[in-house]
Every structure is written in structure tokens, then in C-alpha cells.
Amino acid sequence: MKIGIVLNPASGRRGKKLFWSALRRAIEARFADLSLRETKGFGDAERFGRELADDGADLVIAVGGDGTIGEVAGGILKSHRPGTAFSFIATGTGCDFARNFPMSRDPTTIANGLASPSVRQIDAGLFTCDDEDGDTVTRHFANIASFGVSGHIVRAVNEARKGRRLPGPMVFFFHSLLQILRYKPCDIRLRLDGEDIYEGPITAVAVANGAWFGGGMKVAPDADISDGLFDVVIIRGAGRLKVLSLMNSIYSGGHLKSPLVSIHRATLVEAWPIGKAAVPIDSDGEGPGQLPARFEMLAGAINLKI
């Protein structure tokens, strides 16, 4: 069995890095044919994922945070062998994609599981938008893409040096609080499966394949990563105090009871900004661009091995 590993060496605090070291030894003891590539910057994980799949890997494993996981999965899907099996070891700040699965923490159990022939087909998203320079960006996402204040939050989390020693959820909570206090709701137009569904101010809109984002916020509690549908959560614009109160309830999924929140299901999501204010996008913990954007469901696109 030929295995490719894409490692983000900057991902994770000491405990997660120690876990990966133990797991790596277990994988090396179980498999002889290994190829390890380490990322140095944005885009490396997607390129390595594509190259490893094209080179004939039977399984490509992403080791890092949600951004690394999304990039590697996208690289496989852009390769000449998009059916290549994919797996991941979550070591990042948020680790939200991993929350969708029951997972062992025993290195030997994990290594043996990777040798199993069984895979599970799960969905992926594909979106197109413009980056800050006006160039067109096309990217896959495994977990959640969103826009609004969440786009500002993920940029702050990725850029900030302060707070990096804190646990991942605390980092997201701190920057969520800070960005909500600074945020002014922007107006957008939203279309789902060809039907205009909303026009007006938003706090955030989540185009969810999985249930969690933002370091443990259960934004789409009923999302199913293999049902062929996005759960689209609209959080309308409101005053800062209302949004802060709502934010506290997102961790339990209680925000869906708020009149500010509505949830819809769709396979195609299109969104446009109204006005001149930039509306940034968050995709699996990365900030690739801004509205306007198109999000397309790719049902059963990823062959996942847990």
C-alpha cells in the first residue's frame, strides 16, 4: 500500500505535535512505502495532495488544521485520480472537520485502520470567487465555507500572533468577540438553487457540509456530510449586543431558535454584495477571497478513510 502524507509542521500546539510523532512511528511501522511532504505556505497542501494522487498513492493523509485538510482534499479532487482515498489527522487550531466523526486517539488503532480497504463516500463543496486582487479563485472545501463576520474572524485568527499559546477554541472565541465588536452588517443578495431567498444585512452566512466551525461552534447542528445537500445558515444583521448573545448559543446549536436565524438546504448557493463594502469568505479556516461567489455541492466526491 502506497501512502502519501502532507504535513503542516506549523500546525498544532505541543500536545498535538507529540500525538502526531507517536502516530507517525505507528504508521511507519505498519507501512513501508511512505512519501512525506511538508508545507511551507498557502497552496502547498493542495499541490502536494494533487501530486501524490497523480503519482499513484493509494491513500493521501493530511496532517494539520482544517485549512490543510481542505487543501489536500481539494488537491486530490483536482488530480487525474480524484477517487484516491483520503484521510486526515487533525492537529490544528480549530479541528472542526474532525468533530463530524468518532475517532480513536490510539496510534496503533489508527495505523491499523488506515490499512482497512473500507472507505466512506462524503460530500465536498466547490466555490468560485474573486480574491483581493480581482483574480478568479476556484477551491474545494471539506467542511464549511462562510462569509460575513466569519471571514473577518478567520483572517484575524490566522494573522494574529497574540493568543497562539491559548487552546484553539479560546483563540477563536477571543477573535470572534473582537471582530463582532468591530463589525458593521453588510448587505448581500442570496440565491439558493436558482431562487432568490434573502436580500439584506447579514452577520454571517454559513454554507455547511459539516456541523461545526469557529473552534467548536455548532452552526449547522443537523448537517450531514454525506446527504448531498448544504445546510445554509443565515444569521441576519443585528446590533452588537444581540449578536454577542447569539454567539454564546452557537456552541450548543441553540442559535437556531433565534428569529435572526434561518436554515435552508440547497445544492447550489450564489451570493452577491450590495454596496461597496468587501464581504470576505472563510473556507475551512482560510480566507481565499470575497463575494460575489458561487458554491456548488459535489455529492460523494471524497473517498474518506477514518
CATH number at residue 20: 3.40.50.10330
pLDDT digits (tens, 9 = 90+) for 144-190: 999 999 888 888 877 764 445 555 667 777 877 888 888 899 999 99
Cβ pair 25, 107 in contact under 8 A? yes
Global pTM exceeds 0.95: no
Residue 305 inside a domain? The answer is: no
Residue 134 inside a domain? The answer is: yes
pLDDT digits (tens, 9 = 90+) for 9-52: 887 666 777 888 899 999 999 998 999 999 998 899 999 999 99
Cell numbers standing for residue 9 = 509542521
Claim to verify: residue 137 and residue 267 sit in the same structural domain: yes
Q: Examine the fold and report which residue of 90, 118, 146 is the final residue of a domain before the chain moves on.
A: 118
State the residue range of the domain holding 160. Answer: 124-299
Claim to verify: residue 172 and residue 247 sit in the same structural domain: yes
DSSP letter for each residue of 260-295: TEEEEEESEEEEEEESSS--EEEETTEEEEEEEEEE
Claim to verify: residue 150 and residue 281 sit in the same structural domain: yes
Claim to verify: residue 16 and residue 85 sit in the same structural domain: yes
Residue 99 inside a domain? The answer is: yes
Claim to verify: residue 114 and residue 179 sit in the same structural domain: no
User: Average per-residue pLDDT in the chain?
Assistant: 91
Claim to verify: residue 21 and residue 106 sit in the same structural domain: yes
Residue 145: closest CA among 122, 173, 126? 126
DSSP state of 213: B
Residue 142: closest CA among 306, 265, 297? 297
Q: Examine the fold and report which residue of 118, 133, 165 is the final residue of a domain before the chain moves on.
A: 118
In this structure, the chain runs to a length of: 306
Cell numbers standing for residue 172 = 477563536
Claim to verify: residue 97 and residue 144 sit in the same structural domain: no
Q: How many angstroms separate the CA atoms of 228 and 298, rounded?
A: 7
Cell numbers standing for residue 254 = 441553540
Q: Examine the fold and report which residue of 77, 100, 118 is the final residue of a domain before the chain moves on.
A: 118
Claim to verify: residue 157 and residue 79 sit in the same structural domain: no
Place of cell 481565499: 288
* Total of domains in the chain: 2
pLDDT digits (tens, 9 = 90+) for 74-87: 999 999 999 999 99
Q: How many angstroms separate the CA atoms of 215 and 92, rounded?
A: 10
Q: How many angstroms separate the CA atoms of 86 and 142, rounded?
A: 11
